[in-house]
């Protein structure tokens, strides 16, 4: 299917919210990891979200070029062509963008999509994330309000972060402290600044102990009830019935989370869960196995000529694609609930 239109993306998110499941949002850095993500969603028979970070986009442009916008556009254009061969809906998203990179990443990409929309086309990306966790909340929300106006006009959904995800991702590091828990006041300020959809749709990456990085299950101390508290306090402010979930929530920093914690978060309105660390390993591990098994073929040992069939990049990237795709399919299964993750 073609990359999701704004209408299809909105329907995907609505369906997830109504049926208490979440889409894995898979970070990619190359055409090969993007192919693996597409394959994984197709094998799981699931719609999904593919995303690129600032560092991933820079890498995708080439280590000599190192231009975030160029890399992001290249991956998105590639996805628009290749995704048509798969029977699932895919939305394209950009991941964490801090304040100092907005002018070199998100804003130019929104402007590019606006040009497309003005010509009667769909936006290049379906959503973008502004990560204001490193600035005071009032400044975070002021920038978010300006961005929301621009993204809504370009038919794009904005993702914001209130609270702080600990650990390190793409060179952005945060301490592990009480700021990892979004407060009720943070939720209320968000609604005051951004509304409830009338100014444009947005996703909220609220934090409840999330930490980026590599952890064994149980080592990350999550408090999913923080998400329920936020939904409840805003529902009360808006006069909504008990159990209402006014926010569309995003789960960041999920490595090491217990499955029951993930499932609890889904019941509180999480509809998108970012997955990067696990899929990186799933992509790399088959390559390591290939090289260890075929070391005398990939290396010209003792003056020999090696074996072209095993040092041809296709021989090990094929296995890497399969490994990453399998992990994505597993993630889709873990994030399912009573609802279907694919349209139709």
Residue 168 confidence (pLDDT) above 80: no
Contact 258, 194 (CB under 8 A): no
**Average pLDDT for residues 240-266, to the nearest whole number?**
89
At residue 317, φ and ψ (nearest 5 deg) are: -70, -30
Distance (Å, whole) CA 173 – CA 218: 21
Residue 13 CB-half CA count within 13 A: 26
Lowest mean pLDDT among 13-22, 79-88, 170-179: 170-179
pLDDT at position 163 is 79
Q: Please identify every residue annotated as catalytic.
A: 95
SS3 at position 156: coil
49-87: per-residue pLDDT in tens?
Answer: 999 999 999 999 999 999 999 999 999 999 999 999 999
Can you say whether the dihedral through the CA atoms of 299, 300, 301, 307 is positive or negative?
positive
Q: Which of 17, 92, 42, 7 is closest to 250 using CA atoms? A: 17
pTM assigned to the model: 0.92
DSSP class of residue 208?
B
Distance of CA 27 to the CA centre of its chain: 6
**What is the model's pLDDT at position 176?**
47
> SS3 of 169, please?
strand
262, 83, 89, 7 alpha-carbon torsion, rounded to 10°: 120
Average model confidence (pLDDT) for the chain?
Answer: 91
Q: Tell me the average pLDDT across 98-121.
A: 98
pLDDT above 90 (res 259): no
Query: Cα-atom radius of gyration of the chain, to the nearest Å?
Result: 20
3-state class (DSSP) for residue 315: helix
Poorest-confidence range of 28-32, 44-48, 60-64, 340-344? 340-344
CA 39 to chain centroid, in Å, comes to 17
Residue 168's H or E segment, with its range, is strand 167-169
Minimal CA–CA distance to 147: which of 177, 127, 172?
127
**SS3 of 217-277:** CCCCCCCCHHHHHHHHHHHHHHCCCCCCCCCCEEECCCCCCCHHHHHHHHHCCEEEEEECH
Tell whether the model's pLDDT for residue 311 goes beyond 90.
Answer: yes
Res 42 pLDDT > 80: yes
Task: For 324, list phi and psi in degrees, rounded to 5.
Answer: -70, -40
In this prediction, residues 22-46 reach a mean pLDDT of: 97
Q: What is the mean pLDDT of residues 186-198?
A: 97
Examine the pLDDT at 175 and tell me if it is beyond 60: no
- Sign of the torsion formed by the C-alpha atoms of 97, 99, 100 and 105: positive
- Tell me: the pLDDT tens digits for 114-152? 999 999 999 999 999 999 988 999 999 999 999 999 999
Model confidence at 218: pLDDT above 70: no
């Amino acid at each position: 299917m073609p990359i999701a239109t704004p209408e299809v993306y909105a329907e995907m998110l609505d369906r997830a919210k109504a049926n208490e499941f979440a889409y894995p949002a898979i970070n990619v850095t190359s055409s090969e990891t993007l192919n693996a993500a597409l394959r994984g969603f197709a094998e799981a028979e699931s719609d999904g979200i593919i995303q690129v970070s600032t560092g991933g986009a820079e890498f995708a442009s080439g280590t000599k070029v190192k231009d975030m916008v160029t890399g992001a556009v290249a991956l998105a254009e590639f996805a628009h062509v290749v995704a048509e061969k798969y029977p699932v809906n895919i939305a394209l998203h950009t991941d964490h963008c801090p304040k100092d990179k907005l002018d070199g990443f998100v804003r130019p990409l929104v402007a590019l999509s606006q040009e497309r929309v003005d010509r009667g086309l769909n936006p290049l990306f379906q959503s973008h994330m502004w990560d204001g966790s490193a600035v005071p909340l009032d400044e975070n929300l002021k920038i978010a309000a300006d961005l929301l106006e621009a993204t809504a006009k370009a038919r794009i959904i904005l993702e914001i972060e209130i609270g702080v995800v600990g650990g390190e991702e793409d060179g952005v590091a945060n301490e592990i402290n009480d700021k990892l828990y979004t407060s009720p006041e943070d939720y209320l300020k968000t609604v005051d600044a951004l509304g409830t959809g009338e100014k444009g749709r947005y996703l909220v990456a609220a934090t409840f102990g999330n930490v980026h990085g590599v952890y064994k299950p149980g080592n990350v101390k999550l408090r999913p009830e923080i998400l329920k508290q936020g939904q409840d306090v805003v529902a009360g402010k808006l006069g909504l019935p008990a159990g209402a979930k006014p926010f569309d929530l995003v789960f960041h920093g999920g490595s090491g989370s217990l499955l029951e914690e993930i499932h609890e978060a889904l019941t509180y309105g999480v509809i998108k869960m970012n997955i990067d660390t696990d899929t990186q390993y799933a992509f790399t591990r088959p390559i390591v196995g290939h090289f260890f098994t075929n070391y005398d073929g990939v290396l010209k040992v003792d003056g020999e000529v090696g074996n072209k069939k095993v040092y041809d990049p296709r021989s090990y990237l094929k296995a890497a694609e399969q490994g990453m795709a399998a992990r994505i399919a597993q993630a889709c299964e873990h994030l399912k609930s009573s609802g279907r993750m694919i349209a139709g």
